[in-house]
Chains A and B, each alone.
Chain A
Amino acid sequence: MRPGFYNDNAARHYPLVSAPHELQTPDGDPVLLPKSVFVDFGAIMGMDAGYVAGSHRIYLRKICRFGDRFLFEFRSDAPGTFGTSLFFSRELSDDINQTEYQDSQNWDQDECSLDSESSAQSSTPSSSSSSSDGCPDEPLWSGFLICGDLSELAELMASGAVLIGSDDIRIEPALIRDLAMGHVRSINLANDDRTRVDAPDGCDEIVFPFPTGQTYVRARCLTGALQLIAGHNTVLTQDQFDNSITVSAEVGAGEGEPCEQVALFAGEAPPDGRTLLDGALGCNEVLRSINGIGGQFFDIIGGQGVAVTSDPETNTVSIDISMINLAICAPSESSASSEG
């Protein structure tokens, strides 16, 4: 057989960084890792792995043997990968240089966990990012391992044996690719809360039928071909030259002015007794003018033959058309009170 890349690697530490690689038995006895065990390795660190090239590493955590099956565990010290490992399984009878691809898995899926790790397993995070929020699963990190001849390793490990590695037994850094910030995985939509009314002093509280003051999630994990459309009063401008989209406001643009309020989230409803989503009073629910005259203060002036008096305690304005000082006297009385 012509010597090739894998043959070369079977006789050197690659894909591990060159150094004597000493593992330990659970009793602390040192065991030198045979060079022939690994011949190639590669890893892709996902967007949430927190991997920084040149700062973090991937290392051999342990090797376990169950009968003729070997389990290889690799870990990373990248913060986002805590609680996860790459587990590779190989049979002694497998072909030499066989490739195995794996995605990261939680420690609680480790078939040969060490006693010291059992407590950590109970609180391990998900091995995939975004799996709990409805987004498609994406492994935190992935990798492949190509093993060489395992017979030398088999001589060192009886069935049931465990060899514990360390972060010194690390993978060549140039075999690790970082996908951080590489692409937009999904678009998510949310809306901050609108300004909502509160009751004037002394009035009953305005109670909304949902928690307020929050950011309301509108959509999660939108992927694929998405379109942007201009809604009410919105102008979208696309510039293919600089690959930009500009969103601007213009009264009446897009879908025009809205005829009713736009809900921030599905099911948004006004509070009891109100018709608007923010709890405010509508134009037809507030007296804004009389005979077309409005303003913060409204004067009611009694002219000739009319007396206007007020009683703030009862919120009452009395208009007495007394005809006083007029030659014709036709007593009449009317009063008006307002309800706030």
Chain B
Amino acid sequence: MPSRLFHREWIAEQETTRYPFAETASLTNEEGDMILDGLFLDAILYPIGAGPRLYLAEVEIDHQDVTVSVGDSVSGILASGTVSHLSPPDAISLTDSLGRPAGLLVSEASRLAIFQSWSVGTHTFLPEQTEFAATVTVPSPEVGLRGILLEDGSLFTGDVWIVGSDGIVVRDTQVLADMGPCQEPVLTDVIRIDIVGDPLFRRRLCTPGNIFETPRFIRTVEFRKGAQSFTCTPDAFGNMRVLVGTHMAEDTVLRVHTTDRGLLIEAVGEKLNA
């Protein structure tokens, strides 16, 4: 097959072209920084939420590392990757600001070493200067729930667990969701959050030091008089009342007073020595 004589290997074929940049890319910015043909041999770019026309937005050089950033004309920088320009790898792995994989710039260590000759600082490019070829960009629209982000910057993706703790209970249920006028309500999965507290929190706080001693509560009081006895339980508020009865005599001398810390039970009458 004579045609095979003209087929160069994929990488070899690309290294003398602008690929993975678009053919229209000038690869030179206004400061004269030039991305040489063959610096990058291939690429795959899939930053989440990227718009059209991904481009190499920025190359930041410091004394040890080079950070390459990719962006689009709408959102600016979307993803970046940092490698050592003193001992560069064969590819630059890109992640977005949340640490999500966003693609790969394929090169070779010897090619990436060219950044050693760039001056320290930030070298910016415009979309028309370093636009990537459409074939290396994979659209990844930011639809659906892409992640749950906490205030501290933690991102949760995949199978996310929401765990209720310390008096918070989470549960699933279903409700009939109102779908609007003239629409039948639809059963919808619902996550319900209840903040009900942990009544025994003091026990929990003291558990690590094992310093909590389970109290022995008084649950009933048994009253006895001679052979008679009866048991009293507290009312709905945990209260019990001790009163002076009038069963035997309405003019009883017995008195029950409350004090700051309890009861004073006494009889009234004339003292013997009075």
Contacts and interface: CB of A to CB of B under 8 A. Distances in A.
Interface stretch (A7-15, A62-70, A91-99): A7-15
B237 A234 contact: no
Given A181-B101, A226-B191, A301 B262 contact: yes
Contact of A321 (B198, B200, B267): B267
B265 A11 contact: no
Given A305-B269, A336-B222, A187 B191 contact: yes
Given A48-B158, A183-B147, A293-B262, A284 B237 contact: yes
B194 interface: yes
A175 interface: yes
Nearest to A133: B159
Nearest to B205: A195
Interface stretch (B4-12, B23-31, B50-58, B120-128): B4-12
B261 interface: yes
A119 interface: no
B240 A173 contact: no
A307 to B, nearest CB: 10
B53 to A, nearest CB: 19
A249 B12 CA distance: 63
Contacts of A172: 10, 42, 106
Interface stretch (A25-33, A106-114, A158-166, A327-335): A327-335
A13 to B, nearest CB: 6
Interface in B247-274: 253-274
A156 interface: no
A188 B159 contact: yes
Interface in B132-154: 136, 138, 140, 144-148
B117 interface: no
B218 A9 contact: no
B262 A255 contact: no
B192 A195 contact: no
A196 B273 CA distance: 59
A227 B175 contact: yes
A286 B217 contact: yes
B1 A11 contact: yes
Given A8-B7, A234-B195, A226 B225 contact: no
A57 to B, nearest CB: 11
Nearest to A247: B193
A52 to B, nearest CB: 7
Contacts of B184: none
B10 A327 contact: no
B163 A184 contact: no
Give the size range of A's interface with the partner.
Answer: 35 or more
Interface in A69-104: none
A135 interface: yes
B264 A303 contact: yes
Interface string A305-324: 11010000000000101010
A174 B99 CA distance: 19
Nearest to B44: A174
B200 A194 contact: yes
Contacts of B211: none
B226 A284 contact: no
Contacts of B183: none
Nearest to B91: A54
B246 interface: no
Given A181-B100, A281-B217, A228 B193 contact: yes
A11 B4 contact: yes
A186 interface: yes
A278 B200 contact: yes
Interface centre among B1, B101, B257 (most CB of A within 10 A): B101
A180 B101 contact: yes
A203 B147 CA distance: 50
A203 B219 CA distance: 14
Interface in A1-51: 3, 7-9, 11-15, 17-18, 47-48
Interface in A176-205: 176-192, 194-201, 203
Given A8-B7, A299-B259, A184 B203 contact: no
Given A177-B44, A229-B190, A284-B236, A194 B198 contact: yes
B191 to A, nearest CB: 5
A47 B100 CA distance: 11
Contact of B225 (A7, A284, A333): A333
A162 to B, nearest CB: 27
A17 B90 CA distance: 13
Contacts of B238: 283-284, 286-289, 294
A240 interface: no
21 contacts: A18-B10, A52-B93, A176-B104, A184-B158, A185-B159, A186-B160, A190-B163, A194-B198, A226-B189, A227-B175, A230-B192, A280-B199, A287-B219, A287-B220, A299-B261, A300-B265, A303-B266, A306-B267, A319-B265, A326-B272, A339-B219
**Nearest 7 pairs of A and B residues by beta carbon:** A303-B266, A305-B267, A299-B262, A288-B238, A231-B194, A11-B7, A219-B172
Given A3-B3, A291-B258, A301-B262, 19 more contacts: A11-B4, A173-B91, A182-B100, A182-B157, A183-B145, A185-B158, A190-B163, A218-B172, A219-B172, A227-B177, A229-B190, A233-B194, A233-B195, A254-B194, A261-B196, A285-B217, A289-B238, A321-B254, A325-B271
